């Protein structure tokens, strides 16, 4: 069977199914073979996982009748107690009234789910029939396609003579004893057992990392050959810019800008990361760097992760630079189409010097005349390839990354390789350390008294909750509950709400009102996490703080303490002994916290959460699979080297590299 045939050739795929597969972007036999499941659910009884927060099947007997409760958000929940493996476990199941007839006192049931150690309950997601033994289910995440259809199709395809080209060099398959391509594809769709799942994932992750490394390494080698044009600028103008600031730069800020200046003068493109805690003053550094290139006759772009942040930096940059003849514009997805068209036109024709924006900047239709520097703020919020897309807009671009989430040295900068790093350790003068306190919900009255005093001083309060509305858990704080709580205590204060589900205009309006001091208390989810700057905000209350990761808590704390006023970070929780909270309470040093986070295995924030941003990395995870990555990277170096020396014949290499070159030429 020819892999390029369309799917009508496969037995069991009728017109309707074919249409639906097409809607999912699957057109050919090959497309179908390579549409792997996004994940696998392995349903196996494993009592040892009972308290581990990992999903498992358990069996047991109900020791009382279940209780049906109406949940606040109008969904139903069923609570029952199960006797199993010598334990008595509280189980909770959300929704699904049909269970009513299957569970009753004395019933023996088989359920699947996982334990939530915070709420001390087993959250049930499935009930099995009594003859259940074990099962592996593929999750395809395809719209309107049933699993059995794919299984049937794959079996039919494999019943034919097939020629599938291997996608990894042979020596690597042997080196790691990876499944060959045919086995790999077949067993990816129809794994026989847990070991098959392990093996196909092992190969998939390795393969993703391998090609990722090849691409990155190849791009790097292209960059290394670049000799950029000389940047010539008027130093006096830079000096006058610094002199016009209403503050004095700190020692560390000064040394970082001089490092940047040196990089810009070199003939190879700058590739530098500036890391420094929230509030240490990185914005001015990025604007300074942009200004150097603008003075040299180039354009500059600053990309930030949120619209709010883009707005804020835009205002600041305009205020600083417009009077120096620099044309500054803003580009986000909420800019009106007509305005956007105008901006894109002027950008392409070099009538804009500095553009500040969100992801909107990396869209295909954004073209520069001569982009001299690409600055990526809060770089860990972007995927590697997203960053690369901005950088690749112009061949000679200098790159500057900024981050408040330091990369732990122990991670060895695996991601960046040839990146130079500057660190800012000092805070601007007069800044007081934010006082951090763990407060138990029991002590909320006292807390509200202190907050009241702050509000009397005309200061503002952030309140952050882990959820917008609470659907799946009964006792986690959400935006609504927090709003009600604060409203009860401060009925005459103005309270605003922001969360990710609000329309962007509404979000911006509320944020702006808070910025202007028209709102006293801002209740929100973590949308305020990054970079926002409100000087009179002196308290941040983080509700259910134990639900957040270390890096995130540290970032949130950085919302306050951005001026001369004493600020407070309150970690509100029922879990006062939580290790992460104790770490945050005892340290304000972002570098230390980053190391602690790595040890405590917090969320994989460092390397960019946004995995979807990494082209070709759908399964592999830099944090969890770092060992696989290291092997794949090493192999990629060696093989790419052989390939370049023409010691290696490989069609795949040829194809991939040809693609990369084509892409680059398209962009430049
Ligand atoms: P971050 O490093 O988190 O991006 P910002 O650049 O937003 O920090 O700076 C936080 C605040 O500190 C801003 O209001 C900025 O104007 C101010 N700032 C920056 N550098 C200094 C300095 N050297 N002295 C006083 N204030 C400063
Ligand atoms: Mg910043």
Dihedral angle of Cα 49, 52, 55, 57, to the nearest 10 degrees: 30
pLDDT computed for residue 72 by the predictor: 57
Name the residue with tokens 């390029």: 4
- Mean pLDDT calculated for residue range 48-62: 89
Asked if pLDDT for residue 449 goes beyond 60, the answer is yes
In the structure, which protein residues have their CB atom closer than 6 angstroms to any atom of ligand 1?
Answer: 247-250, 253, 276, 278-284, 404, 428, 531, 533, 562
Pair 455, 389 in one domain = no
Assigned domain for 633 exists: no
pLDDT computed for residue 341 by the predictor: 96
Q: Cα(7)–Cα(25) distance, rounded to whole angstroms? A: 12
- Mean pLDDT calculated for residue range 11-36: 93
At 89, is the secondary structure helix, strand, or coil?
strand
Pair 340, 456 in one domain = no
Pair 285, 328 in one domain = yes
Boundary-marking domain end, from 587, 612, 631: 587
Q: Ligand 1 test: best mutation among 249, 276, 279, 356, most atoms within 8 Å of CB?
A: 279
pLDDT tier, 522 (very low <50, low <70, confident <90, very high otherwise): very high
Which residue's CA is the nearest one to ligand 1's atom 17?
A: 281
Pair 412, 472 in one domain = no
pLDDT tier, 623 (very low <50, low <70, confident <90, very high otherwise): low
Assigned domain for 397 exists: yes
282-314: pLDDT as tens digits: 999 999 999 999 999 999 999 998 888 899 899
pLDDT computed for residue 602 by the predictor: 36
- Mean pLDDT calculated for residue range 67-94: 84
pLDDT computed for residue 73 by the predictor: 57
Pair 266, 381 in one domain = yes
Boundary-marking domain end, from 424, 449, 481: 424
In this predicted structure, which of 75-84, 322-331, 552-561, 587-596 has the lowest mean pLDDT? 587-596
Contact between residue 121 and residue 109 where contact means Cβ atoms under 8 Å apart: no
Assigned domain for 208 exists: no
Asked if pLDDT for residue 323 goes beyond 80, the answer is yes
In this predicted structure, which of 115-119, 405-409, 474-478, 547-551 has the lowest mean pLDDT? 405-409
Asked if pLDDT for residue 607 goes beyond 50, the answer is no
Pair 287, 407 in one domain = yes
Assigned domain for 198 exists: no
Q: Which long-range contacts (CB under 8 A, 24 or more apart) does 186-191 make?
A: 186/154, 186/158, 188/36, 188/37, 189/36, 189/37, 189/138, 189/150, 189/151, 189/154, 190/151, 190/154, 190/155, 191/40, 191/136, 191/138
Assigned domain for 551 exists: yes
pLDDT tier, 472 (very low <50, low <70, confident <90, very high otherwise): low
Asked if pLDDT for residue 601 goes beyond 60, the answer is no
Domain that holds residue 272: 225-424
pLDDT computed for residue 176 by the predictor: 95
Boundary-marking domain end, from 104, 133, 162: 133
Dihedral angle of Cα 622, 624, 628, 629, to the nearest 10 degrees: 10
Pair 449, 521 in one domain = yes
pLDDT tier, 614 (very low <50, low <70, confident <90, very high otherwise): very low
Assigned domain for 40 exists: no
Assigned domain for 363 exists: yes
pTM over 0.95: no
Q: Ligand 1 test: best mutation among 250, 402, 428, 534, most atoms within 8 Å of CB?
A: 428
* Ligand 2 center–CA 282 separation, angstroms: 6
For residue 521, give the CATH number of its domain.
Answer: 3.40.50.300
Mean of the per-residue pLDDT values of the chain: 86
153-207: pLDDT as tens digits: 999 999 999 999 888 888 899 999 999 999 999 999 999 999 999 999 999 999 9
Pair 456, 540 in one domain = yes
Percentage with pLDDT > 70 across the chain: 88
pLDDT computed for residue 610 by the predictor: 38
350-375: pLDDT as tens digits: 999 999 999 999 888 999 999 999 99
- Region of 427 on the Ramachandran plot (φ > 0 left; ψ -120 to 50 alpha; else beta): beta
Q: Ligand 1 test: best mutation among 242, 278, 281, most atoms within 8 Å of CB?
A: 281
Assigned domain for 274 exists: yes
Total domains in the chain come to 3
* Ligand 1 center–CA 202 separation, angstroms: 45
Rg over CA atoms, the chain: 28
pLDDT computed for residue 615 by the predictor: 47
Contact between residue 130 and residue 110 where contact means Cβ atoms under 8 Å apart: yes
Name the residue with tokens 């499941």: 37
- Region of 245 on the Ramachandran plot (φ > 0 left; ψ -120 to 50 alpha; else beta): beta
Pair 513, 546 in one domain = yes
Asked if pLDDT for residue 123 goes beyond 80, the answer is yes
Q: In sequence order, what are the beta bridge partners of 371? A: 299
Task: Spell out a b/e string for 268-287, using b for 16 or more CB atoms within 10 Å of the CB, else e.
Answer: ebbbbbbbbbbbbbbbbbbb
Asked if pLDDT for residue 95 goes beyond 90, the answer is no
pLDDT computed for residue 533 by the predictor: 77
Pair 458, 378 in one domain = no
Which residue's CA is the nearest one to ligand 1's atom 24?
A: 428
pLDDT tier, 410 (very low <50, low <70, confident <90, very high otherwise): very low
* Ligand 1 center–CA 249 separation, angstroms: 9
pLDDT computed for residue 199 by the predictor: 96
Q: Cα(290)–Cα(320) distance, rounded to whole angstroms? A: 12
The set of residues, in sequence order, having a beta carbon less than 8 Å from that of 332 and lying 6+ positions away, is 307, 310, 311, 357, 358, 360
What count of Cα atoms within 13 Å lies in the side-chain half-sphere of residue 242? 16
Please name which ligand lies nearest the alpha carbon of 534.
1
For residue 106, give the CATH number of its domain.
Answer: 2.40.50.140
Pair 414, 439 in one domain = no
Pair 241, 375 in one domain = yes
């Amino acid at each position: 069977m020819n892999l390029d045939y369309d799917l009508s050739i496969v037995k069991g795929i009728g017109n309707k199914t074919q249409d639906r597969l097409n809607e999912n972007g699957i057109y050919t036999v090959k497309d179908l073979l390579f549409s792997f499941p996004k994940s696998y659910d392995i349903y196996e009884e494993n009592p040892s996982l009972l308290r581990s927060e990992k999903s498992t099947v358990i069996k047991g007997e109900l020791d009382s009748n279940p209780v049906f409760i109406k949940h606040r958000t109008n969904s139903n929940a069923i609570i029952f107690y199960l006797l199993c493996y010598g334990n008595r476990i509280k189980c909770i199941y959300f929704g699904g009234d049909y269970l009513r007839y299957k569970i009753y006192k004395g019933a023996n049931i088989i359920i699947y789910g996982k334990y939530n150690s915070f709420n001390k309950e087993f959250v049930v997601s499935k009930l099995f029939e009594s003859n259940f033994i074990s099962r592996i289910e593929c999750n395809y995440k395809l719209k309107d396609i049933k699993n059995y259809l794919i299984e049937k199709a794959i079996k039919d395809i494999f019943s034919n003579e097939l020629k599938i080209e291997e996608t990894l060099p042979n020596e690597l398959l042997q080196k790691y004893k990876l499944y060959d391509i045919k086995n790999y594809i077949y067993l990816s769709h129809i794994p026989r057992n847990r070991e098959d799942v392990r093996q196909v994932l092992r190969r998939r992750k390795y393969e993703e990392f391998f090609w990722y490394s090849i691409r990155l390494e190849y791009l790097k080698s292209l960059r290394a050959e670049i000799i950029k044009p000389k940047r010539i600028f008027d130093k006096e103008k830079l000096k006058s810019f610094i002199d016009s600031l209403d503050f004095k730069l700190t020692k560390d800020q000064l040394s970082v800008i001089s490092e940047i200046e040196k990089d810009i003068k070199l003939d190879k493109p700058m590739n530098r990361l500036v890391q420094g805690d929230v509030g240490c003053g990185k914005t001015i550094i990025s604007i300074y760097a942009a200004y150097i290139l603008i003075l040299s006759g180039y354009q500059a772009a600053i990309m930030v992760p949120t619209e709010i942040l883009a707005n804020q930096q835009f205002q600041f940059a305009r205020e600083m630079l417009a009077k120096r003849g620099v044309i500054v514009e803003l580009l986000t997805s909420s800019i009106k189409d007509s305005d956007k068209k105008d901006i894109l036109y002027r950008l392409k024709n070099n009538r804009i010097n500095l553009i500040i924006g969100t992801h909107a900047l990396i869209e295909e239709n954004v073209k520069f005349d001569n982009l001299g520097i690409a600055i990526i703020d809060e770089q860990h919020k972007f995927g590697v390839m997203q960053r690369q897309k901005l950088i690749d807009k112009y061949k000679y671009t200098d790159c500057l990354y900024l981050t408040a989430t330091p990369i732990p040295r122990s991670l060895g900068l695996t991601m960046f390789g040839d990146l130079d790093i500057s660190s800012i350790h000092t805070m601007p003068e007069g800044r007081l350390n934010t006082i951090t306190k763990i407060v138990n919900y029991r002590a909320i009255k006292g807390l509200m008294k202190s907050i009241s005093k702050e509000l009397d001083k005309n200061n503002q309060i952030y309140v952050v909750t882990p959820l917008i509305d609470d659907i799946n858990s009964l006792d986690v704080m959400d935006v609504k509950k927090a709003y009600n709580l604060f409203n009860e205590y401060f009925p005459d204060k103005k309270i605003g709400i922001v969360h990710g589900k609000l329309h962007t205009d509404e979000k911006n309006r509320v944020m702006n009102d808070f910025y202007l001091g028209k709102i006293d208390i801002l209740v929100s989810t973590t949308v305020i996490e990054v970079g926002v700057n409100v000087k009179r905000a002196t308290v941040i209350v983080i509700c259910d703080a134990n639900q957040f990761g270390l890096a995130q808590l540290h970032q949130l704390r950085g919302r306050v303490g951005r001026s001369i006023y004493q600020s407070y970070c309150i970690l509100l929780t029922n879990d006062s002994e939580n290790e992460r909270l104790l770490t945050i309470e005892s340290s304000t040093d972002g570098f230390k916290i980053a190391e602690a986070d790595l040890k405590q295995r917090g969320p994989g924030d460092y390397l960019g959460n946004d995995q979807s941003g990494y082209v070709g990395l759908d399964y592999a995870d830099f944090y969890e699979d770092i060992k696989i990555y290291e092997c794949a990277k090493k192999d990629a170096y060696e093989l790419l080297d052989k390939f370049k020396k023409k010691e290696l014949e490989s069609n795949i290499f040829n194809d991939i590299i040809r693609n990369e070159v084509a892409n680059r030429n398209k962009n430049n």
